[in-house]
Amino acid sequence: MPNETNSKDEFINWVINIKALQTPNWIGLPNNAEKVLLAERGQEFIRKMIKMSNDELAYEADDLEGNKQAPTWMVQFSAQCKSWLDALPQQLQHLRRTKENVCDPLFRFFEREINLGARLLSDIRRDLNELLSICCGDQKQNNHSRQLIAALVKRKRVPANWLQFSVPKDVTAHEWMRDFVQRIEQLKRLSLSKNLTYEEVWLGGLFVPEAYITATRQLISQTNGWSLEQMYMHVTKKKKGQLNATAFTLTDLRAIGCVLCESDKIKLKDEVHIFRFNTGNWHLAFVGLIGCSISGLAVPFFALVYAQIFSVFSEPLDQLQSDALFWAAMFLLVGFLNAFGFFISVFVPPLLLFLLLLILPFWANMLGRSGEALTKKLRTEAFRNLMRQDIAFFDDERHSTGKLCTRFATDTPNVRSKCRESGIGGGRKHPNGARSEQAAVLPPQIRLSFVCSPSCQYAPSAHLRVRVHLLSIVDLLHVRFAFWVGSLFVLNGIIRPASVFRVFFAIAFCGQSVGQISSFIPDVVKARLAGSLLFHLIEYPSLIDSLSDRGNDQKFAGHIQFHSVSFTYPSRPDISVLNRMSFEVKAGQTVAFSYKLFLHYLFLF
């Protein structure tokens, strides 16, 4: 603190006379604080210098003359870099733009692919040349090269800056480079092509294969003036000379989960094959089907009861009260029938329902149990077939660990839906007593569900939107036409007004139920595809069937004898580990070798 000061000027002079450098005590630190700080900074600087001048990672050429060899991994990695550089072309030729081809969707797609391939090829060659210079001692390492070495040498994985397209997570650097060379060769061939439309394309060798499908659809739509919503893609196996103007050639495609029929088309496993595989649980499926049928019959019966209500309100008052109570009870009966069928199909037989509610805390799920049994059988049979496969089976990329786990975890439950959700929907939506009504209303339902709704979402032009909304009026026109025809029948005395309501509501309700079947179509498609993949795995033949019962089953027992066995390590030939040792091991015995090393006893079983 300053001395006694009587004025402001004296205080300012005292501040000016304070020394510029103060000891650490001034801020409450020890006296050696500055020395510790400087020592820590010096050690950190030395550590960074050592990392930059590591003899193992970067060495001088003069040291080689002094009999100092490069590390083994560096010699091997330099040879690998040279082989990769020799396999890769120097560069890719870019496509030339003109006024004609710039409007071609297929040309724009290949231009993006070739530009991406050329840029990635340039980066990879630059990185490989840099790594080769480091291995030869011509260049020091930096942070980027250290990341490359850590990925390629230590982890055997692809560097992050090379991953410009989708690849499996478990792919190694050698596999990725071999695949990349094939992709670049295809792009090199396409860059020299004069007509990209008729070139054969390896779809899996493109960086963005989905964009190729979109570009071909846009090209055909642009050439022929067709709408994209009206186009469908068909896959056929033909020769190159048999293609028409609306076809493109794809090579190296592999069909998984389907078979090739005689007409050169692929097809999935049918539903009969799936249900035949689940014949052991037919009793559960049969009981569930009965419940589905009863629940489905409740739909037309409800329509009849609902239509009868209109005629009840036209009756005299003395008769109206009794009939209203009767038809109200019919509504309860319809609900009971619906629950009756539902509990049979999904739970237990309804005759035992109330008894089970009093005795058991839960009831069995019929179709659910059938689906669970199918899931268990599929997984068991698939796993059994995996156990008898040879090692080469698992080396195939189609049978990798991730894909096999997907078969067991995802595809198997999808097949189960074939015997569960689709079974309930099929029984409930197809009542036997209303087939004619369903057939009458099914075409407009299909037309409205599969034409109007998707087109409203994807209609690209104004006139198409107008056409779609005009089609949406068809449903109301059907109602108007039905009541107009019914009124003619009533005026001519052919039928009564109540009969018109019965027929109309029966057709309307049953048609609505049939229209709901479309919600199960995605589950059925997934079940067929998943079933085909699983049956392919179950029926895959084995070159060596280790689980087969055929052949001679010879019983044998182990009985080993050793006579005068001698053993030494190659690095220490003067030290004998086993010196003319003889012993005998019979079946069921365990042998332990013990020897003394310094003051310890070591045992080898």
* Neighbour count for residue 337 (Cβ, 10 Å): 17
Q: Which two tokens stand for residue 420?
A: 């569960």
Does 179 lie in the same domain as 301? no
Q: What is the CATH number of the domain that holds 204?
A: 1.20.1270.280
Token pair of 238 as six digits? 């033909």
Q: Based on the domain organization, do 357 and 430 belong to the same domain?
A: yes
Residue 181: per-residue pLDDT: 92
* Domain match, 474 and 360 both: yes
Place of tokens 């596999």: 175
Residues 344, 226 share a domain: no
Same domain, 48 and 160: no
Q: How many Å apart are CA 100 and CA 158, to the nearest integer?
A: 40
CA 475, 480, 483, 488 dihedral sign is negative
Determine contact, residues 251/186, Cβ cutoff 8 Å.
no
Q: Does residue 3 fall inside a structural domain?
A: no
CB distance 371 to 416 below 8 Å: yes
362 DSSP assignment: S
Whether residues 172 and 120 share a domain: the answer is: yes
CB 189 within 8 A of CB 178: no
pLDDT score, position 55: 43
Provide the Cα torsion 109, 111, 116, 121; round to 10°: 130
The verdict on residue 150 lying in a domain is yes
Strands (E), 246-295: 250-251, 258-260, 266-268
Directed axis angle between helix 366-387 and helix 521-538, to 10°? Answer: 30
Domain residue limits at 120: 62-235
The torsion angle over the Cα atoms of residues 255, 261, 267 and 269, rounded to 10 degrees, is -100
Burial-class residue 97 by CB neighbours within 10 Å (0-12, 13-18, 19+): exposed
What's the rounded Cα separation, in Å, for the pair 311 and 315? 7
- Which of 485, 508, 538 represents a domain boundary (last residue)? 538
Query: Strand pairing partners for 596?
Result: 601
Averaged pLDDT, groups of 10, the chain, 605 residues long: 65 68 62 78 81 49 47 85 91 86 87 92 92 87 88 87 84 89 91 84 88 88 81 71 69 61 53 74 74 74 79 78 82 76 53 40 54 82 85 78 80 64 34 34 44 43 59 73 82 80 77 70 76 80 73 76 84 80 85 64 51
Three-state secondary-structure class, residue 448: helix
Give yes or no: residues 24 and 151 share one domain: no
Q: Are residues 576 and 440 in the same domain?
A: no
Nearest-angstrom CA–CA distance, 384 and 379: 8
| 250, β-bridge pairs | 201
Judged on CB neighbours under 10 Å (0-12, 13-18, 19+), 490 is: middle
Do both 342 and 426 map to the same domain?
yes
Decide if 116 contacts 138 (C-beta within 8 A): no
Residue 241 falls inside a structural domain:
no
Do 549 and 465 touch, CB atoms closer than 8 A? no
Give me the sign of the Cα torsion angle 325, 331, 334, 340: negative
Closest CA to 410 of 518, 266, 531, 280: 531
This prediction's pTM:
0.43
In a domain, 43, yes or no: yes
C-alpha dihedral, 276 to 278 to 281 to 283, nearest 10°: -30
User: Up-side HSE of residue 404: CA atoms within 13 Å toward CB?
Assistant: 16
> Which DSSP category does 313 fall into?
T
d(CA 116, CA 95): 12
Q: Are residues 524 and 586 in the same domain?
A: no
Regarding whether 152 and 43 lie in a shared domain, the answer is no
For residue 300, give both structure tokens: 């037309």
In a domain, 269, yes or no: no
Residue 153: what pLDDT? 87
3-class secondary structure, 141: coil
| Ordered alpha helix ranges (H), 472-552 | 474-491, 497-515, 521-538
Residue 418 lies in a domain: yes
The reply to whether 133 falls in a domain is yes
Residues 505 and 588 in one domain: no
Q: How far apart are CA 81 and CA 132, in angstroms?
A: 6
pLDDT of residue 447: 44
- Domain count across the chain: 4
Burial, 115: exposed, middle or buried (Cβ in 10 Å; 0-12, 13-18, 19+)? middle
Question: Is 346 within a domain?
Answer: yes
> What's residue 416's pLDDT?
62
Alpha-carbon span 207 to 201, nearest angstrom: 12
DSSP state of 70: P
